[in-house]
Amino acid sequence: MAVMEVKKICVIGAGNMGHQISLAAALVGYKVKCTDINKEILQKAEQFCDDYLPNRVAKGKLTKEEAKAARGRVTFTNRLEEAAKEADLVIEAAIEKLDIKRKIFADLDRICPDHAILATNSSYIVSSNIADVTSRPEKVCNMHFFNPALVMKLVEVVNGAHVSQETVDTVVGVCKKMGKIPVVLKKEVYGFLVNRIVTAIKSEALYLHDMGIATPEDIDNAVIHALGHPMGPFRLMDLTGIDLTYHVSTERFQETGLKKYTPSPTVVEKYVKKEWGRKTGRGFYDYSN
């Protein structure tokens, strides 16, 4: 399937990543259906769209006509079949748990048209761990956006051994139409490009904090003002979600059995307390105000 044949996109998951990916696609002309099993999350996603677009108009970034047209191209539903049955491309942005993703992709393979590409926005799980539950492994790939998806330009596209070149070319083309900068990995590797680098920094930062050597604030300041990063590792975890950090570590430990992948004690404590960062109002920093 060529990129010009992609007209309708389904996004699975209406959380921080899903609703922004949906809106980013709608803004460039795609018809988008975003779905989630949680009605409250769907309502929040729809409210985000209703607030974001007028704000862009007020700032002179969009005309009223452009905003109205974009809003008309994105819809929200809690019915997977309704969202996916006519999709040319599906972008799954559900929780970072392999068993859940495999169930979703098995359902998508049954629901979606034969030509549809099924992409996962997973930040760590390679698509070869998912593709075998479908009858179209050549059309299953990683399409990893970065948070916040409306702002961040980079998208990682992974060309696994099971993925066809046509699928890669189509996904790259969709990224470019969305105004993103796609980078193609020639083979699968856990964590892809960016997260392998970020994880190394994050792991060391958590170790330094767990050992009582420095506070999150001081570690973030060191990374920002000495290394030139725009954001420190603790602020970044608060932004992407400490629950995500916990699930990724847990999945990796269960997969490998290696002790080095067990979640940091601080991350476990934050996860249990539901102090997951910006989304809950408190993480390593306080966002209640």
Instruction: Tell me whether residue 195 is one of the annotated catalytic residues.
Output: yes
Q: What is the rounded distance in angstroms from the CA atom of residue 289 to the CA atom of residue 280?
A: 12
Residue 228 CA to residue 210 CA, distance in Å, equals: 24
Dihedral angle over CA of 240, 244, 249, 252, nearest 10:
-110
Q: Where are the beta strands (DSSP E) in 72-200?
A: 74-77, 89-92, 117-120, 140-145, 154-158, 181-185
**156 catalytically annotated:** yes
Q: Which of 16, 19, 122, 156 is catalytic?
A: 156
Annotated catalytic, 123?
A: yes
Beta bridge partners of 172: none
Is 249 tagged catalytic? no
Choose, from 122, 195, 249, 264, the residue flagged as catalytic: 195
Instruction: Please tell me the chain's helix, strand, coil percentages from 3-state DSSP, rounded to the nearest 5.
Output: 55, 15, 35
Q: Which of 19, 96, 142, 144 is catalytic?
A: 144
Q: Which of 16, 123, 142, 264 is catalytic?
A: 123
Q: State the maximum Cα–Cα separation within the chain, in Å, rounded to a whole number.
A: 55
Residues labelled catalytic: 123, 144, 156, 195
